[in-house]
Amino acid sequence: MPPNTTATSGDKPGKSGRKKGRKARLIVLVLVLAIIGGIAYGAYWSISTVRASFPQTKGSITLEGLSGPVDVKRDGYGIPQIYADSDEDLFMAQGYVQAQDRFYEMDVRRHMTSGRLSEMFGKSQVDNDEFLRTLGWDRVAKKEYDSTLSATTKKYLQAYAKGVNAYLKGKDGADISLEYAALGFTNDYKPAEWTPIDSVSWLKAMAWDLRGNMQDEIDRALMTSRLGPQQIADLYPEYPYSSNQAIVQEGQYDELTKTFEQSDGDSDSGSGDASTNGGTGDGTSTSDGTGSALTSQLTGLYDVLDDLPTAVGVNGNGIGSNSWVVAGKHTITGKPLLANDPHLSASLPSVWYQMGLHCRTVSAKCQYDVSGYTFAGMPGVIIGHNATISWGMTNSGVDVTDLYLEKLSGDDGYQYDNKVKPFDTREETIKVAGGASKKIVVRQTEDGMPLLSDRDDELVDVGKKATVDSAAPDRGDGYAIALKWTALEPGTSMDAVFAINKAADWDAFRAAAKLFDVPSQNLVYADTSNHIGYQLPGKIPTRGKGDGSIPAPGWNSKYSWTGYIDFDELPYEFDPARGYIVTANQAVIDKDKYPYTLTTDWGYGARSQRIIDLIKSKIKGGGKISTDDMRQMQLDNDSQIARVLVPILLKINLDDPDVREAQKLLQGWDYTQDADSAAAAYFNAVWRNILKLAFGNKLPKELRVEDQCLWVDPVNTTGPVDDTDKVIECGEREADQAQPDGGDRWFQVVENLLDKTDSEWWTTPESGTRPGAEKNRDKLFERAMIDARWELTAKLGKDIDTWSWGRLHRLFLKNQTLGTSGPGFLQYILNRGPWKLGGGEGTVNATGWNAAGGYGVVWVPSMRMVVNLEDLDKSKWINLTGASGHAFSAHYTDQTGKWANGELLDWSFSKKAVDDSTSDTLVLKP
């Protein structure tokens, strides 16, 4: 099964392959396979067979379809720079080279996006395929290719596919990668040719993982089984505009003719009456006793979503990123500097592939001279720079998905404005390796919303028995959950990639951004003419009633989308007077300055404000910022929540001398979470226990860590409840997806409650050793400090001199498929780690961990770059892993150690710099 590649605190490390010689690893491979597969198989798996999949990087290869020779120059890290004389040759070569290094990864991705994982991995993937077929990414991609993409983009996609297929020609699985050879023992799967649709579909997967607030929408609804409206509001506080600046401070939006109205929800402002108050006001109230339809449906939906393999994120949770740009007036070079580090799942190989695409002479025939980070499987560069501009991306977090509770009428219809409408249906056949095919029926509403709940039998039964309030239609045949999502409509994001790659100035960049419809990203910009800018692009819906914060009643047309915000009405900035722009998933613009609801679920601005403060401290008094200053900012480990809590924690009187000893670690601590810091280890353990005691133990089971069980009061009871009425409820969520996760939303929750020292949230649960439930903040903090001391004693030992944050906060890199669920010996061969890391949640160096589940690293800065617009050859970059997806390649994880240490590599761009750094040259001949 190719599932989530993230690591959790419960992961068991394999021995690091980096500590063994390559020859030794190959011998282990041959021996293990000989034992398992017999002598004949063992002989087949010779060292030469394993090496057969390595790419040819020197000499020449003839490729049918090229119009002229193409040079592929690789540096000492295997990073390719491609030189050609036509656009088609350039992208054909890109397809060939990426397939050399990463075809297995590309193949898995396209099977994921098309809902065909079962063809590779068997019946374990049928449920995932059913869900992905229901979403229909590849169907939308085909419509996009057929109807919305430009002829030029199609030509490039065809050239790219031609290059991939030129690589595949004449090869069997073992010639392509070790993983195919391993699959060959149980599966006769053989890779098919690449198509342009395979490339376009990947954008849908990227959009899915960056889809915005869908998880918050589910979680808020699930909370209603145990929490009241005010409690839920406590856990989803307002964005702190007064302390954490929005992105756009001096910018604007054009041609905005609509007035800013706060009405009853019927205007285009999207600021209707559905918020965190626990109900929509129209039949889907989720207060106690009336929300079983929604709660039960969403519990099942979450189970389906949690099983899905990730594309670039953590199933929609924890997605972050930093990107900022500083104008030349504040830099040592006198020209802008631009930094970017997207925070995504820790995957092996990395989701990014570094590459340069160069026309030997830029002309109408050959238009590109661009370098940066690409996705294996897609032509063009996603993030990087060309000869005159640079750009970075962070997830905007705008709300582009809504869940609707649909009222069913029989098997084939649903209610809409007191009428019964028929579903659009289609039949899908899922082929299963080693088993019989399975047919499913996909139902969707008239406006294209698929019924997600059709993919779970339990949800269908629950929907028939569900309870809703009196404003809803009669229960009848039950309820279902449908999804409205911008990426389910054909778009032009693939056109945007090529347009951005060749944009030469701000106007061309904005014109390209207009095409970037999904996923909506914060785009930062800098150019060699000393300009900086920001643009919010994307297809962002306007709503009638409701604001998208909780599921809406699908039977009422007043809750439908009314359109999309015009591009000219989206916020942007150009050359702001302050001389810098910071995006780190915070609010795009103050809500009282903008007439549309972009989302109700921004990141809370801890990282963005820290970056702003670091920039201000550097430029204070006329100071200047260097490329290395930008790198150092990316590595900043400062903990904002520690600055708030430590002064309080130090005032608490502790009786136990061992706990007092741990408390003293916090005295004089500078709040930086370095890997070797004992204070950071103890503080984060205290923080985790505060969250558990104050919030985690009070959340419904659907949000808590699976198999963690508590005695709780029963739900929906009347009258007083005593201890004899309590029931055991066990958590149901994966450890790295559970709540409270400890991110900056929880920073804000705790900060808002600190002055309310007798809040109900500060009620300390009883325990056998510490009886009595006290409603007292400091008593809860005391309990958390005691529990943290003994938790770390168990994990790290009694001697606090041996403690360090890095011993708790470790990164394991797992091969995205067989390294996660394959046989143990294959996991040993394919996986790498651990690395002891600094950083943490809500810090600029965002090595994320989930406080509910443990301390292990679950998402990371997936790459880092700093672009120097004064001299592009002085730009710097690093990838999480390496260029290669081949487990025994020298470039499998050759960048990881430097990445973990915060180092950056030289990023050659000019012909001379590339030539000087070239180690291998391959000539592709027509």
For residue 500, the surrounding DSSP H or E stretch is helix 493-502
Take residue 353 and report the two structure tokens written for it: 């592939």
- Stretch 186-204: mean pLDDT: 91
Give me the phi and psi of 124, to 5 degrees please.
-65, -20
Q: For residue range 132-146, list pLDDT tens digits in order.
A: 999 999 999 999 999
Q: Is the pLDDT of residue 284 over 70?
A: no
Residues 504 and 389 sit within 8 Å (Cβ to Cβ) = yes
Task: Please give the Cα distance from 40 to 551 (Å, whole number).
Answer: 58
Mean pLDDT of the residues in the chain: 86
Percent of the chain residues topping a pLDDT of 70:
82
Which residues of 449-500 form beta strands (DSSP E)?
A: 479-485
Per-residue DSSP letter, 706: B
Task: Please give the Cα distance from 306 to 853 (Å, whole number).
Answer: 15
Residue 292 to residues 171, 220, 222, 587, Cα–Cα distance (Å): 54, 14, 9, 33
Residue 646 to residues 218, 500, 561, 665, 684, Cα–Cα distance (Å): 33, 46, 46, 10, 11
* Nearest by Cα to 393 from 251, 513, 567, 490: 513
Q: Is the pLDDT of residue 272 over 60?
A: no
Take residue 144 and report the two structure tokens written for it: 């996009």
pLDDT at 33 (0 to 100)? 42
* Nearest by Cα to 804 from 792, 794, 812: 792
pLDDT at 449 (0 to 100)? 94
- Stretch 549-575: mean pLDDT: 92
pLDDT at 408 (0 to 100)? 86
* Nearest by Cα to 733 from 393, 306, 373: 306
pLDDT at 183 (0 to 100)? 83
Percent of the chain residues topping a pLDDT of 90:
68
Higher pLDDT, 283 or 627: 627
915: left (phi over 0), alpha (psi -120 to 50) or beta: alpha
* Nearest by Cα to 580 from 531, 653, 627: 531
Give me the phi and psi of 832, to 5 degrees please.
-140, 155
- Stretch 904-920: mean pLDDT: 98
- Here the contacts of 764-768 (C-beta below 8 Å, separation 24 or greater) are 764/693, 765/693, 765/697
* Nearest by Cα to 271 from 260, 282, 279, 281: 260
Give me the phi and psi of 24, to 5 degrees please.
-65, -40
Q: For residue range 799-855, list pLDDT tens digits in order.
A: 999 999 999 999 999 987 776 766 777 788 889 999 999 999 999 999 999 999 999
Please give the model's pTM, rounded to 2 decimal places: 0.89
Q: For residue range 577-636, list pLDDT tens digits in order.
A: 999 999 999 999 998 889 999 998 999 999 999 999 999 999 999 999 999 999 999 999
Task: Please give the Cα distance from 860 to 486 (Å, whole number).
Answer: 27
- Here the contacts of 622-627 (C-beta below 8 Å, separation 24 or greater) are 623/330, 624/330, 624/331, 624/332, 625/326, 625/330, 625/331, 625/332, 625/337, 626/331, 626/332, 626/333, 626/337, 627/333, 627/337, 627/866, 627/868, 627/874, 627/875, 627/876
Which range among 104-113, 380-389, 722-731 has the greatest average pLDDT? 380-389
Residues 6+ apart with CB under 8 A from 280: 273, 274, 545, 546, 550, 551, 552, 553, 559
Task: Please give the Cα distance from 86 to 887 (Å, whole number).
Answer: 33
CA 551, 222, 736, 453 torsion-angle sign: negative
Residue 409's pLDDT band, with cuts at 50, 70 and 90, is confident
Higher pLDDT, 724 or 110: 110
Q: For residue range 867-905, list pLDDT tens digits in order.
A: 999 999 999 999 999 999 999 999 999 999 999 999 999
Task: Please give the Cα distance from 96 to 169 (Å, whole number).
Answer: 11
- Stretch 413-434: mean pLDDT: 94
Higher pLDDT, 261 or 779: 779
Q: For residue range 470-482, list pLDDT tens digits in order.
A: 555 554 557 788 8
Indicate the pairing of strand 832-836 with strand 810-815.
antiparallel
pLDDT at 215 (0 to 100)? 79
Query: How is 95-153 classified by DSSP, letter by letter?
Result: HHHHHHHHHHHHHHHHHHHTT-HHHHHGGGGHHHHHHHHHHTHHHHHHHIIIIIS-HHH
b/e for 350-364, b at 16 or more Cβ within 10 A?
bbbbbbbbbbbeeee
pLDDT at 405 (0 to 100)? 85
Amino acid, single-letter form, for residue 154? K
Residue 8: alpha-carbon gap to chain centroid: 16
Residues 6+ apart with CB under 8 A from 724: none
Residues in the chain: 926
Query: How is 62-88 classified by DSSP, letter by letter?
Result: E-TT-SS-EEEEEETT--EEEEESSHH
Per-residue DSSP letter, 848: B
